[in-house]
């Protein structure tokens, strides 16, 4: 079965490691692995990553 999951408006899906608005799941992967965070939370994570990259 091919599974496509989408985040609600203003939200981002994540499995704790990968982030996206839409996920097309690999064969055998459960949707239970994913949860939503807000766009603001995601932006904060990106900002932290950018800061880390700049050292």
Contact residues toward other proteins (CB under 8 A) are 2, 4, 6, 12-13, 15, 17-29, 49-50, 53-54
Give the strand pairing for 4-6 and 22-24. antiparallel
Q: How far is the CB of 4 from other proteins (least distance, A)?
A: 6
Q: How far is the CB of 2 from other proteins (least distance, A)?
A: 8
20 forms beta bridges with: 13
Alpha-carbon distance 49 to 40, whole Å? 14
Token pair recorded at residue 5? 């999951």
Q: How far is the CB of 55 from other proteins (least distance, A)?
A: 8
């Amino acid at each position: 079965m091919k599974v496509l999951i989408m985040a609600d408006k203003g939200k981002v899906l994540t499995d704790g490691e990968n982030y996206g608005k839409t996920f097309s799941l690999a064969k055998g992967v459960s949707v239970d692995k994913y949860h939503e965070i807000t766009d603001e939370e995601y932006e904060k994570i990106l900002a932290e990553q950018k800061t880390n990259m700049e050292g």
